[in-house]
Amino acid sequence: MENSVLAHVLDDWATWSKRPEKDVRRKLLDECVLSPDSVTVIQGVRRCGKSTLLGQLMTTAGIDEAHAVFINFEDPRLLGHLDADLLEQVYQQCAGSQEACLTFFLDEIQNVSGWQKWLNTKLEMKSGHRFVVTGSNPDFS
């Protein structure tokens, strides 16, 4: 995927944190611990509020939007690119020369082939960044 197209997709999704005025704070937020040593996984049925929870998590954890990367892998513009190479491209484009800790919110990650090995590699190599993934497919885990 061309870097300029990916930049446009990431920019479009950067507005995700603008939550609706009336959303219900999830009690689960009190149990979410974000760490660069592990992945935070949010799994649930479709349309149960996983993406809303991500926005609330960003606010509750005090993550500045400049240090958050959000992408929804159900975006049709990503079709034909849903593999570990796309994940690496997102990572390099956002974290390439960034020294600050970023939090990557990877929504509906089950759509990306090879995501488990890519993410495991980032953890094993101690990237210093945090990862939150969501999934709704039974094949997610």
pLDDT one-digit tens code per residue, 56-107: 888 888 888 889 999 999 999 999 999 999 999 999 999 977 778 999 999 9
Please report which confidence band the pLDDT of residue 112 belongs to, taking 50, 70 and 90 as the band edges: very high
- Residue 30 predicted with pLDDT over 70: yes
pTM assigned to the model: 0.84
Asked if pLDDT for residue 15 goes beyond 70, the answer is no
> Does residue 20 surpass a pLDDT of 60?
no
**Which domains does the chain carry?**
3-16+35-135 (3.40.50.300)
* Per-residue H/E/C for the chain: CCHHHHHHHHHHHHHHHCCCCCCCCCHHHHHCCCCCCCEEEEECCCCCCHHHHHHHHHHHCCCCHHHEEEEECCCHHHCCCCEHHHHHHHHHHHHCCCCCCCEEEEECHHHCECHHHHHHHHHHCCCCCEEEEEECCCCCC
Q: Which residue has the higher pLDDT, 49 or 34?
A: 34
Residue where the block lists tokens 């960034």: 98
